[in-house]
Structure 1
Amino acid sequence: EMKKGNYEQFMKDRTMAMIFEKSSTRTRVSFEVAMEKLGGHAIFLSKNDIQLGRGETIEDTAKVLSRYVDVIMYRAYSHENMKELAKHATVPVINGLDDEEHPCQVLADFMTIKEKKGRLEGLKLVYFGDGDNNMAHSLLLGCAIAGMKIKIAAPRRFWPKEYYVEKAKELGGEVEIEEISENAAKDADVVVTDTWVSMGDEAEKEERLRIFKGYTVDSNVMAKAKPDAIFMHCLPAYYGYEVTKEVAHGSQSVIFDEAENRLWAQMAVLKWLFG
C-alpha cells in the first residue's frame, strides 16, 4: 500500500539516529528517504561523528541517544554490540545490518518475491556462496517463517552457524545444506547470492576467492533453476565473482526492484513501530 503512495506522515516531529559503523549506499539513502517521506528527520552518525568511536560505552551511547531521538537505526560490525545497544536503549532499535543478521534486507527480498511470484509459501530458494554470513542467516529464519524451502550451497567451512539452522528448523523450516553440486539450483524459484568478501573480511580476500571458486551464479546455474526463476542479490555485486554481469543484468534478475523495496519495507517497519 505504501508503494502505491498510501501512507500518512506519522513520523512528523520524530527523529531517527542512524549509526553507521559500516558504510552503505542502500541502507543510508533508503532510511533517510523513508523518514523524509513520512514527515520525520534522520541524523547520520558515523562512528567518528560520535564518542562511541573514542571509547564511550555502547550502554551510555544508547541511554544518551534515547533522550534525544525517537528511534535508532544501527549498522554494526558486531551482533553483540547490536544486542547491547538494544538492551540499553529506551526507544526502538532497528537492525540495519550486523555480522550475523540483515533483517531489513530480507524483508525487502520477501516483498520482491511476493510481487514477482504472488506468494511466498511453498516456494524454493537456493542460496550460493558464503553460507556463514548475515544474509544466509536471515534468509534461513525468514524462509522458515514464510513457509519457503531453502537450500544453501556453500563450502563446508562456510556453512551457516548451527544456531540459525536449528532455529529455522524449530520454526518449521525445510532446510538443505550442501557443498556445490551440478544440480544445486534444481527446482529453484529464487536464486540468491551475496558478496564473497563482506566488510571486515578483507584480510581473507585471496583465500576466500580461492575457496568460493565454482560458486559463481552464471547462466549455467540459472538454466538448472525453474524457467521462471528470479535472481536476487542484496548488492553491491562484484561481477565475475559471486555472479556474472550477464545474470545480474539479465531478464531473470530483480536486483534493482529488490534494492528499491528496501525503502518500502523499511517504511512498513516504521509504520509497525509508530503508525
Structure 2
Amino acid sequence: MSVRHFLSLMDLTTEEIRLIIARAIELKAELRAGTLSTLMQNQSAVLVFEKSSTRTRVSFEAGIAQFGGSSIFLAPADSHLGRGEPIADTARVLSRMANLIVMRTGPHERIEQMAQYATIPVINGLSDFNHPCQLLADIQTFTEHRGAIQGRKVAWIGDGNNVCHSWMNAARQLDFELHIAAPKDYRPDQNLIKDCANNIVLTEDPEAAAKDAALVATDTWSGMGHEKEKEARAKKFAGYCVDENLMRAAAKDALFMHCLPAYRGSEVTAAVIDGAQSVIWDEAENRLHAQKSLMEFLLTRA
C-alpha cells in the first residue's frame, strides 16, 4: 500500500474526514477513561518545525507519547535544513530512521517537497498556505457541540489567511456554507476561491457574514510572518472585531472559535472569547485528539 500524506484536507475523502473525526471523539473518551493505545510503541516521529508553536507542538508530542511512541523535535538550528541541506535529502534520511514526519514551515512548497521524497507519512503542522490539522480539531469541536456541520452556515471574520484557506477546503469537503468577511486586499487565494466557489460567499461586511451563522470564527490579524505589518493591518481590519453585537447577528446558539493565540480587543473582544458561546478551550484540546486520530489513520494505511 502506498504511503499517505496529509498536506491538506483535500488529501482525504469526505468519508475519511468523517471517520477521523468520529475516531477522534472515541480517542478522547478512551483517554479520559485511562485507556491508552500502543500504536506507536517502538516507533518515533520527527517534528521539523521552522516556525514557533505552542498548541501544534504540544498536541503532537503529547499524542505520540500517549500512543507509546517517542518524538524528536528539530528547530532550524538543530538540523542541517537550517544550513541549506536540500529538503529531499532530509526527507530520505528521516524516512530511514523514523515512522512519521510533522512539518511546520513557511512556503507550502517545502512541505510538498518533504512529502515528495519521504517514504513515511508527512503531516502539515502549518504552512503559509493552510493549516489542516486545525480544521480537524475545529470540525470535531463543532460536531461535539452541535452535530454534523453539513448544510450549516459558518462565518469567517478577518484575514483570508492559511486557517481561512483550510476552512474553505472544509466547506467543499463537508458541504457547508462559508461566508468570509475580509477587507478587499486581504481576501483568500484567488485560485482557491474558484475551487470552492460553490460553498463560499465573499463579503466586506462582517455582520452580513455572521447573520444567522451557526459558528463564527476568526484569527489574529497579524499572524506569523506579518508582525511588522501589525499597525497597518489594525487600521485595515478596523470594524472586523468579533464583538457582542456581531455575535447577536449570528444564530442564538452560535458558537465562537479562534485557533489561538488571541489578542483580546483586536480581532475579538474579551466578552466574546471568554463568554458562554466560546468553545476555544475545547477547540484547543481537540488538537490532541484529532491529530491522534489522524496519525492512527496514516500509520495504519501506510
Does residue 85 in structure 1 map to residue 114 in structure 2?
A: yes
**1:164 to partner: Cα distance:** 1.4
Say what the alpha-carbon RMSD is for the aligned residues: 1.1
- Please say if residues 206 and 240 of structure 2, whose CA atoms lie closer than 8 Å, have aligned partners that are also in contact: no
Who is 1:163 aligned against? 191
Q: Deviations over 1:120-146 (max 9, x none)?
A: 111110000001x11010000011111
2:182·2:203 contact (CA, 8 Å) conserved in 1? yes
Letter of the aligned partner of 2:192 in structure 1?
A: Y
Where does 1:41-120 land on structure 2 (aligned, <5 Å)? 41-120=70-149
| Contact kept? 2:159, 2:187, Cα under 8 Å | yes
Q: Post-superposition shift, 1:3?
A: 0.8
Find the counterpart in structure 1 of residue 66 from structure 2. Answer: 37
**Paired AA for residue 133 in structure 2:** C
Report the residue type matching 1:43 in the other structure: I
1:1-275 mapped onto 2 (5 Å cutoff): 1-5=26-30, 8-131=37-160, 133-169=161-197, 173-275=198-300
Aligned-residue offset at 1:167: 2.1
Q: Tell which has more relative contact order, 1 or 2 (C-alpha 8 A, sep 6+).
A: 2
* 8 Å contact from structure 2 (residues 179, 202) kept in 1: yes
Letter in 2 for 1:64: V
Matched residues, number: 271
Q: Runs of 5+ in structure 1 lacking a partner?
A: none
Alignment-mate amino acid for residue 146 of structure 1 = L
Q: 1:21 to 1:168 in 2, by over 3 A?
A: same
Q: What residue identity is the alignment partner of 1:46?
A: A
Distance 1:61 1:7 in 2: 32
The normalised TM-score by structure 2 is: 0.88
Distance 1:214 1:181 in 2: 8
DSSP 3-state at the match of 1:252 = coil
Rounded to whole Å, the distance in 1 between the matches of 2:293 and 2:193 is 27
Q: 1:89 Cα deviation (Å)?
A: 1.1
Task: Give distance in 2, aligned partners of 1:166 and 1:155.
Answer: 18
Structure 1 position 62, deviation (Å): 1.0
TM-score by length of 1: 0.96
Q: Which amino acid aligns with 2:181?
A: A
Q: Read off the aligned partner of 1:266 and give its amino acid letter.
A: Q
Whether the 8 Å contact between 2:40 and 2:67 is mirrored in structure 1 is yes
1:183, 1:199 → 2: CA distance? 28
Counterpart Cα distance in 1 of 2:196 and 2:286: 24
How high is the sequence identity, in percent, across the aligned residues? 48
CA offset at residue 7 of structure 1? 5.6
SS in 2 for 1:227: coil
Q: Residue type of the partner of 2:146? A: K
